[in-house]
Amino acid sequence: MSRILIVEDEPAILLGLSGQLRREGYEVTTAITGDDGLSSAQTNPPDLIVLDLMLPGLSGYEICRTLRSQGRQMPILMLTARGEETDRVLGLDIGADDYLTKPFSLRELLARIRALLRRTQSNDKLQIGDVEIDFAAYTATRAGRPIEISRRELLLLRALTAKPNRVLSRDELLDSVVGEDVYVSNRVIDNYIVTLRAKLPEGHLVTIRGAGYKWIP
Ligand code: CA
């Protein structure tokens, strides 16, 4: 499950946001000062940060700039107050990925969060029901518990999920999984599909008879 850090000094907003995000199934940590927010993001990096611009101590800008200068790439959604037009632009300049102006609707915020997480998850992390895949670390968990998954199963999954709703032939998949120069029967793909499917929630990995396989998100 994705972890979100909210850095916000207005108690009502903080409470409303954290409650709503937890109800949506996110794991939420909070900070009410800039300094606490930065140290939390550094010591226990979240998957996404909802960052207020004006904070006691370090500002949202400074936090954003510091994290980016340290090479931390988690998506940052900046919250700004009405009338901070130039600030908004600056917010994007310093490496925030998106912003919302207060007051905003929770629905809008949730949509933005989902979009941002999808963007990063398509790179390194993937959430499929209660299964979480980390392609960078070659690890997978189901309901928070580690599951065994081989490198080739991960490569296969990555190839499929990179092109959702498209039929991929065994030969295409084979190239991604064992490499183009290796000669093996493309039927090995069927074996990987079977073992992979057993580890994932049902209904995503679909067989298209005579053609190949398809990933349905
Ligand atoms: Ca504030």
Phi, psi of 39 (to 5 degrees): -70, -35
Rounded mean pLDDT of the chain?
88
Q: How far apart are CA 119 and CA 45, in angstroms?
A: 17
Considering the domain delimited by 125-215, tell me its CATH architecture. Orthogonal Bundle (1.10)
In percent, the amount of the chain with pLDDT more than 70 equals 91
Ligand 1 centroid from CA 114, angstroms: 23
pLDDT on residue 177: 81
Ligand 1 centroid from CA 43, angstroms: 23
Structure tokens at 45: 């990096």
Q: How far apart are CA 144 and CA 128, in angstroms?
A: 12
| Radius of gyration for the alpha carbons in the chain, expressed in angstroms and rounded | 20
With b meaning 16 or more CB within 10 Å and e meaning fewer, what string describes 129-146?
Answer: eebbbebeeeebebeeee
Element (H, E) at 4: strand 3-7
Q: Where are the domains of the chain?
A: 3-120, 125-215
Q: Is the model more confident about 78 or about 125?
A: 78
Q: State the pLDDT confidence band at 55, using cuts at 50, 70 and 90.
A: very high
Say which CATH class 3-120 falls into. alpha beta
The residue type found at 115 is: A
Ligand 1 centroid from CA 75, angstroms: 19
Q: Is the model more confident about 103 or about 30?
A: 30
Q: What is the pLDDT of residues 93-124, one digit of tens each?
A: 677 888 888 889 999 999 999 988 877 665 67
pLDDT on residue 27: 95
Structure tokens at 17: 């946001």
Q: What is the pLDDT of residues 155-209, one digit of tens each?
A: 899 889 888 888 999 988 988 887 666 677 888 899 999 999 999 999 999 999 9
Ligand 1 centroid from CA 77, angstroms: 14
Q: Answer whether 140's CB lies under 8 Å from 131's CB.
A: yes
pLDDT on residue 74: 86
pLDDT on residue 34: 97
Ligand 1 centroid from CA 133, angstroms: 35
Q: Which residues surround ligand 1, an ion (CB under 5 A)?
A: 9, 52, 54
Ligand 1 centroid from CA 88, angstroms: 14
Coil, helix or strand at residue 176:
helix
Ligand 1 centroid from CA 101, angstroms: 12
